[in-house]
């Protein structure tokens, strides 16, 4: 069983929304990821998205591209990422962890072998950005059989006719990308997002996370009013990139505490 469903259920019972941060594993250093994950939990996040570095992150903007390059310079591969999750699990058995990355590292390891290793390490869900439901035949089933939730994206260009198809393949939650473009793009139009999320809910019973364009407590609050989960990536990775040596953990903690206040303000 994945930790994702129970986490969302518990939040709903408390009338709370989820805050989901993204960091790239191995950025800024190999040894920094597990401490960062614990700091995120201490700052009040509900689920962690952990980026698996890839040499060609086609769907990412410059901030996350650079994080991926730093992690690769630290020689961090998929096996190392799984080891980091296992390390995190030694002292945290509650917070769901979703791996987010591209198909090829997983393909190279083998889908079944990866699913077993990920489950053993304590991973709860997997989002492979470049495997849409059409290409996930077999893959999503392998993940589900191993007890991993296959997370899929929905975008402003997704036609309504496709949402049900995506929902069918998905597990855990669906991730609505609130803007066209790569990660780290400009600000978002909450009215438009609100309409789209309502449409998604019509076809999909899973919790809906919304990401792209969330930078501060105010935008986090605005999105938390609409969605079940607020996903923040580039803003956090940017904080890691620009923090002075040794300050990354503290800076991220302060930023995430602020985002948490924003998300909770939506529930009051």
Q: Which stretch binds other proteins (CB under 8 A): 14-22, 42-50, 92-100, 124-132?
A: 124-132
Distance CA 88, CA 134 (A): 33
Q: Which stretch binds other proteins (CB under 8 A): 91-99, 129-137, 234-242, 246-254?
A: 129-137
**Pairing assessment for the beta strands 152-154 and 149-150 based on DSSP bridges:** unpaired
Shortest distance in whole angstroms from residue 186 CB to other proteins: 10
Closest to other proteins by CB, 4 vs 129, is: 129
Distance CA 201, CA 67 (A): 33
**Residue 147 binds other proteins (CB under 8 A):** no
**Residue 61 binds other proteins (CB under 8 A):** yes
Catalytic residue among 49, 149, 228, 239: 49
SS (H, E, C) 191-257: HHHHHHHHHHHHHCCCCEEEECCCCCHHHHHHHHCCCCEEEECHHHHHHHHHCCCCCHHHHHHHHHH
Q: Select from 131, 135, 167, 170 the least CA-distant residue to 150.
A: 170
Q: How many residues bind other proteins (CB under 8 A)?
A: 45
What is the four-CA torsion angle of 13, 19, 25, 31, rounded to 10 degrees?
A: -90
Distance CA 67, CA 28 (A): 7
**Residue 109 binds other proteins (CB under 8 A):** yes
Closest to other proteins by CB, 55 vs 267, is: 55
Closest to other proteins by CB, 72 vs 112, is: 72
The question of whether 49 is a catalytic residue gets the answer yes
In angstroms, how far is the first alpha carbon of the chain from the final one?
Answer: 31
Catalytic residue among 27, 46, 60, 228: 60
What is the four-CA torsion angle of 48, 49, 50, 53, rounded to 10 degrees?
A: -170
| Residue in the structure block whose two tokens are 């995506």 | 166
Residues 103, 199, 254, 265: which binds other proteins (CB under 8 A)?
103
**Residue 241 binds other proteins (CB under 8 A):** no
**Residue 180 binds other proteins (CB under 8 A):** yes
**Residue 102 binds other proteins (CB under 8 A):** yes
Residues that bind other proteins in the complex, under the rule CB under 8 A: 53-62, 65, 69, 72, 77-79, 102-109, 129-132, 134-135, 152-159, 162, 166, 177, 180-182, 185
Cite the active site residues: 49, 60
């Amino acid at each position: 069983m994945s930790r994702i469903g129970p986490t969302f259920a518990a939040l709903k019972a408390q009338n709370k929304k989820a805050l989901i941060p993204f960091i790239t594993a191995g950025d800024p250093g190999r040894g920094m990821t597990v401490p960062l994950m614990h700091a995120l939990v201490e700052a009040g996040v509900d689920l962690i998205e952990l980026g698996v570095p890839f040499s060609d992150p086609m769907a990412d903007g410059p901030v996350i591209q650079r994080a991926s390059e730093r992690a690769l310079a630290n020689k961090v591969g998929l096996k190392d990422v799984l080891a980091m999750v296992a390390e995190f699990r030694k002292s945290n058995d509650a917070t769901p962890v979703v791996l987010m990355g591209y198909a090829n590292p997983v393909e190279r390891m083998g889908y079944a072998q990866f699913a077993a290793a990920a489950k053993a390490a304590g991973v709860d869900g997997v989002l492979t950005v470049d495997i849409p439901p059409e290409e996930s035949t077999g893959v999503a089933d392998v993940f589900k059989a191993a007890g991993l939730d296959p997370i899929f994206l929905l975008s402003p260009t997704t036609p309504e006719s496709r949402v049900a198809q995506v929902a069918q393949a998905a597990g855990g939650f669906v991730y609505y990308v609130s803007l066209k473009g790569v990660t780290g793009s400009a600000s978002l139009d909450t009215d438009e997002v609100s309409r789209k999320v309502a449409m998604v809910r019509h076809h999909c019973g899973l919790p809906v996370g919304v990401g792209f364009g969330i930078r501060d407590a105010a935008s986090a609050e605005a999105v938390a009013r609409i969605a079940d989960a607020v996903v923040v990536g580039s803003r956090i990775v940017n904080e890691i990139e620009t923090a002075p040596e040794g300050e990354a953990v503290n800076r991220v903690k302060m930023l995430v505490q602020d985002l948490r206040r924003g998300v909770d303000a939506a529930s009051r």
